[in-house]
Amino acid sequence: MGTIRMDRRLFLKTAGATAGAVAATQVGCLKYFKKGRSSAADSREIPTTCELCPNKCSAIAVVEGGLIHKLNPNPENPKSRDMLCARGNAAIKQVYDPDRIKQPMIRVGARGEGKWKPVSWDEAFDFAAKKLSETKDKYGPQGTLWSSTEGFQEKFFVNLGQAFGSPNIVRHPTLCLASVNLAYGTTFGTVPSFDLLNSKYVIMAGANRFESIITPDTMDLIGSVMERKAKLVYLDPRFTVTAAKADEWYPIKPGTDMAFILAMINVIIAENRYSKDFVSAYTLGFEQLAEHVKPYTPEWAEKETEIPARDIVRIAREFADAGARALYYSGRRSSWYQNDFQMRRAQAILNAIVGNWDQMGGMVPNSTLPKGEFLFMPWDEPKAPRVDEVKTEFPLAAASDGVYLKLRENVLANKPYPIKAWMVYKQDPMNALPDQSKTLKMIEQMDFIGVIDVQMSDMAWYADVVFPESAYLERTDPVEVMPGIWPAVVYRQQVVKPIHDTKPNLEISQGLAKRLGLSDYFDYTIDQWVEAEFKDLPIPMAAEHMKKHGVWAASGQPKYGATLTPDHRFVTKSGKIEIYSDRLKDAGYDPLPVYTPPVQPPSDRFRLILGRVGYFTHANQSNNVWLHEFMPENDLWINPVPAGRLGIKNGDYVNVASSVGTVKIKARVTEEIRPDCVFMLHGFGKKSKMQSLVYNVGASDAVILETAWDKVSGNAAFHETFVKVSNA
Amino acid sequence: MAMKKKRYALVIDSRKCINCKACVVACKAENEVPVGNFRNRINEERKGEFPKLSINFEPEQCHHCEEPSCVRVCPTGASWQRKDGIVLVNYDECIGCRYCMIACPYDARYFNEEQGVVDKCTLCSHRVDRGDVPACVETCPSKVRIFGDLEDPKSRIHELLSTRRYKVKEPQTGNGPQLYYLL
């Protein structure tokens, strides 16, 4: 019955004994801690911040008898809107997972064989420090690679890599949203939020917001659409939950989104429906755009997208008529195609010409809140250039985040210099990167691999030493400001003491730093760090407030239109919103988005597309017993027409083969996908035996995905793989 | 009967349900429901041929009926109903005969193998009694379920049921189900 044991009758009795205030069902900034909720005598309620995915929702942990009993949503966070999703609720099982890494471990067998020796923290630190120092002596500090994914404690890991002297820090954006960030940044000088709470007309392409949950967008949009405040037009090759809830769904031909957008711009300009005042006051390059989109007619786009021209014309008109409250939604995991940056640029331009910038119901530049900073000793800039050659290959990309797939290519080729040690924090490159065989080759090439993680991911399974990190409910983390239309500050504090011999990442980084002679850079505790951050928060008694409430947000309505003044300078070269971009032209890219038709799969192959469901979004969630119940195994969606042709029946096992690998997976013959593509969920077919629910169950998309990236941002292009499907 | 009468019920706006399962996991944690058993669920109805398709989601749990057949058939009186309408199982009295599971028109009950008793949604009576809403109601991203007291004319569910069209499931059973689905 799980790890939380309590006599049910006693529980009901104690819980029933206390009467409380009136139930509140409304959504909004309610005050959780005025309600006086705690019931049982040994029950405590501790506010914290969820870490099951990157949304950072505010939660209240109910602790009874020293065990986490329940996580309730905290209504005081305007971004998480008084909700906690299935993943958030299941975080309890991350702590009490029998598969957890319970102490540091050093590999004794071959890599990936799964033979481990439990060791003390001292042994683990000494071992890693020795290996890192050896690599440094032989290859210089640049011979080490530090890769991590986002999280409140990621900065300590990044700092350690930098203090060590390595230029090779690679973060998650080029596996996620680098292209959308760069495209909107290039156009507007900043990446805005989308005011779905107040929008009247939303076009969403592939972003599947009702399954791929992003706060507050998911909640705002479902409310707006179902209460008939907004119309939702949804494009996706797959009939997702978002498609089911949308007013209109178009199963667009994969990879042709840009044709649809350019044709919309064509109609809006040809019919004079753009916002003339806004365009003339705030934008640059409209004339070039008008000329540029002339060939992109709705009739032309119909042939590309398979969306009828008359619908494109009508949607363009409706969109322009909604004007400032119309949104072409940007999406978030924008790692789709090799032209992804330019497609997102086309979206940004479409949004710009209807004048939805900084308007209620439109795109709104993020507000932020001040926060104190802990000042620590700075280190010297690394001397060597980055191994992924970002500066020369991707001059516009965010160099500090790196370009992951280019990096892997260069590491495999020892170009421009060898990388021989790999430190990983909280990331699973075995599943997060396409083409697992290449990642395995990269692993083979390493003299040393160290992984810091809460669970034994596939990457940890191949490591030489594993440092078990405490789960988020066992840690206090740095304070985070969450910019947005409704900005908030959130705080994650320890809910229960670590149940195993684990440490927070700061202490792991400090343990390594000490042995690498870098202690001076890490001469602080988490409490000192957090106290410094509390200092500049715009709240009286900030520390007390954050510890009691876990979150703070300004009350009142968002401020719209702050950037709409004659003297406002956008953070672009010209100071205007750049429809036509000289910066792109100078860097050798198209200054306006040029459409190139995607290569289509040959008749015996399918395009593999990826996506999410609401209860699994990341590979680190599939071994959670409360989520795994909903989907014990992933499957391959295939339309009945090609399935019939290939003799594949629902539930049959099939082989799915690309140029880089083959997986065996169960077929789900369904009408809910176009006949020219197949779909599978991420996070199954694990190699780690300490992911026991999904070890060797289902298949990992990483095995068959081919390596491709967006030309401008370097973002991985995950929808460029063609696969052959046959009965297994 | 000196106290003001209460009648708890749920109004469900299924159209807002995105099948994210937050309610199912929240229930699991709050009520320590064993893995493999569920006190609430989301029914799915998928229809059509590409590209004319539809999916409907419909959350369901115990309907806390007016005339609960599970209570009627229970040979020991373990299944019982509170004055406020909440149907519960007294685990001390339950002999695990499972007649109630057969009698329930909504498949809302399960047999807890470990404890040898039948179990079901309690409408989080322990939370309700201290003034909170059930866990499934609270955690929902799109606030599909609305909990309240039908006897309170100022309650949101009272307002919804007097202004909106709705249905109940299997009304012909005479059970008088108290899960109201908005149309």
Is B53 close to A239, i.e. CB distance below 8 A? Answer: yes
A2 — contact with chain B (CB < 8 Å)?
A: yes
B135 — contact with chain A (CB < 8 Å)?
A: yes
The model's confidence at residue A18, banded by pLDDT at 50, 70 and 90, is very low
Is B46 close to A2, i.e. CB distance below 8 A? Answer: no
Residue pointed to by tokens 């339309």: A639
Task: Nearest by CB to B130, from A19, A25, A671: name it.
Answer: A19
Verify that A357 and A287 share a domain, yes or no. Answer: yes
At A182-238, the pLDDT tens digits run 999 999 999 999 999 999 999 999 999 999 999 999 999 999 999 989 999 999 999
Verify that A505 and A443 share a domain, yes or no. Answer: yes
Residue pointed to by tokens 């209620």: A360
Task: Nearest by CB to B21, from A39, A86, A222: name it.
Answer: A86
Does the pLDDT at position A560 exceed 70? yes
What's the predicted TM-score (pTM) here?
A: 0.94
Provide the pLDDT for residue A486: 94
The model's confidence at residue A556, banded by pLDDT at 50, 70 and 90, is confident
Taking a C-beta distance cutoff of 8 angstroms, is the pair A50, A91 a contact? yes
Task: Nearest by CB to B34, from A1, A22, A73: name it.
Answer: A1
In percent, the amount of chain A with pLDDT more than 90 equals 92
Q: Which of residues 46-75 of A touch B (CB under 8 A)?
A: 69-73
**Number of C-beta neighbours around residue A257 at 10 A:** 27
Provide the token pair at A503. Answer: 């440490």
> Position A599: which residue type?
V
The model's confidence at residue A5, banded by pLDDT at 50, 70 and 90, is very low
Provide the token pair at A24. Answer: 């509140």
A216 — contact with chain B (CB < 8 Å)?
A: no
> Does residue A610 belong to any structural domain of this protein?
yes
Greater model confidence, A465 or A14: A465
- The rounded mean pLDDT for chain B is 96
- Give the CATH number, domain containing residue A458: 3.40.50.740
> Does residue B141 belong to any structural domain of this protein?
yes
Verify that A343 and A228 share a domain, yes or no. Answer: yes
Nearest-Cα distance to chain A for B141, in Å, is 5
Q: Give the domain extent around A248.
A: 193-364+561-586
Greater model confidence, A41 or A622: A622
Is A86 close to B35, i.e. CB distance below 8 A? Answer: no
Does the pLDDT at position A648 exceed 60? yes
Does the pLDDT at position A155 exceed 90? yes
Contacts of A675 in chain B (CB under 8 A): 50
Instruction: Give the closest residue to A45 by CA, choosing from A29, A62, A27.
Output: A62
Which residues, listed in sequence order, are joined to residue B53 by a DSSP beta bridge?
A: B48
Domain count, chain A: 4
> Position A578: which residue type?
E
Task: Nearest by CB to B142, from A22, A223, A626: name it.
Answer: A223
Chain mean position to CA B85: 11
Residue pointed to by tokens 């469900």: B12
> Does residue A555 belong to any structural domain of this protein?
no
Does the pLDDT at position A713 exceed 70? yes
Verify that A234 and A330 share a domain, yes or no. Answer: yes
- Give the CATH number, domain containing residue A327: 3.40.228.10
Verify that A621 and A641 share a domain, yes or no. Answer: yes
A210 — contact with chain B (CB < 8 Å)?
A: yes
Verify that A476 and A404 share a domain, yes or no. Answer: yes
How far apart CA A414 and CA A141 sit, in angstroms, is 15
Q: Give the domain extent around B43.
A: 8-182
Nearest-Cα distance to chain B for A477, in Å, is 24
Domain count, chain B: 1
How far apart CA A357 and CA A351 sit, in angstroms, is 7
In percent, the amount of chain A with pLDDT more than 70 equals 94
> Does residue B31 belong to any structural domain of this protein?
yes
At A378-433, the pLDDT tens digits run 999 999 999 999 999 999 998 899 999 999 999 999 999 999 999 999 999 999 99
Verify that A207 and A248 share a domain, yes or no. Answer: yes
Verify that A329 and A465 share a domain, yes or no. Answer: no
Minimum CA–CA partner of B37 in chain A? A629
Taking a C-beta distance cutoff of 8 angstroms, is the pair A160, A509 a contact? yes
Does the pLDDT at position A124 exceed 60? yes
pLDDT, mean of residues A331-355: 96
Contacts of residue A718, Cβ cutoff 8 Å, sequence gap at least 6: A335, A336, A434, A610, A705
Is A213 close to B35, i.e. CB distance below 8 A? Answer: no
Taking a C-beta distance cutoff of 8 angstroms, is the pair B138, A72 a contact? yes
> Does residue B175 belong to any structural domain of this protein?
yes
φ, ψ of residue B119 to 5 degrees: the values are: -135, 170
> Does residue A646 belong to any structural domain of this protein?
yes
B133 — contact with chain A (CB < 8 Å)?
A: yes
B37 — contact with chain A (CB < 8 Å)?
A: no
Provide the pLDDT for residue A40: 60
Provide the pLDDT for residue B1: 46
- Give the CATH number, domain containing residue B99: 3.30.70.20
Task: Nearest by CB to A25, from B13, B51, B133: name it.
Answer: B133
How far apart CA A25 and CA B139 sit, in angstroms, is 11
> Does residue B155 belong to any structural domain of this protein?
yes
Task: Nearest by CB to B138, from A9, A73, A85: name it.
Answer: A73
Provide the pLDDT for residue A386: 97
Contacts of A98 in chain B (CB under 8 A): none
Verify that A171 and A213 share a domain, yes or no. Answer: no
Contacts of B140 in chain A (CB under 8 A): 83
Is A83 close to B18, i.e. CB distance below 8 A? Answer: no
Question: ∠A553-A554-A555 over CA atoms, to 5°?
Answer: 115
Question: ∠A449-A451-A457 over CA atoms, to 5°?
Answer: 115
The model's confidence at residue A31, banded by pLDDT at 50, 70 and 90, is low
Nearest-Cα distance to chain B for A97, in Å, is 13
Provide the pLDDT for residue A546: 97
Q: Which of B139, B145, B154, B157 to mutate to test the interface with A (most CBs of A within 10 A)?
A: B139
Verify that A440 and A334 share a domain, yes or no. Answer: no
Task: Nearest by CB to B25, from A9, A25, A626: name it.
Answer: A626
Residue pointed to by tokens 């692993």: A443
The model's confidence at residue A2, banded by pLDDT at 50, 70 and 90, is very low
- The rounded mean pLDDT for chain A is 94
Task: Nearest by CB to B139, from A89, A210, A211: name it.
Answer: A89
> Does residue B138 belong to any structural domain of this protein?
yes
Verify that A623 and A659 share a domain, yes or no. Answer: yes
Is B156 close to A218, i.e. CB distance below 8 A? Answer: no
> Does residue A381 belong to any structural domain of this protein?
no
pLDDT, mean of residues B166-183: 97
Taking a C-beta distance cutoff of 8 angstroms, is the pair A427, A402 a contact? no
> Does residue A529 belong to any structural domain of this protein?
no
Verify that A210 and A340 share a domain, yes or no. Answer: yes
Contacts of A223 in chain B (CB under 8 A): 16, 142-143
| Single residue among A517, A544, A572 that ends a domain in this structure | A517
Is A615 close to B132, i.e. CB distance below 8 A? Answer: no
Chain mean position to CA B9: 8
Provide the pLDDT for residue A181: 97
Is B18 close to A70, i.e. CB distance below 8 A? Answer: no
| Single residue among A95, A130, A159 that ends a domain in this structure | A95
Taking a C-beta distance cutoff of 8 angstroms, is the pair A716, A433 a contact? yes
**Number of C-beta neighbours around residue A689 at 10 A:** 12
Is B32 close to A626, i.e. CB distance below 8 A? Answer: no
Which residues, listed in sequence order, are joined to residue A551 by a DSSP beta bridge?
A: A490
The model's confidence at residue A14, banded by pLDDT at 50, 70 and 90, is very low
> Does residue A530 belong to any structural domain of this protein?
no
A190 — contact with chain B (CB < 8 Å)?
A: no
- Give the CATH number, domain containing residue A48: 2.20.25.90
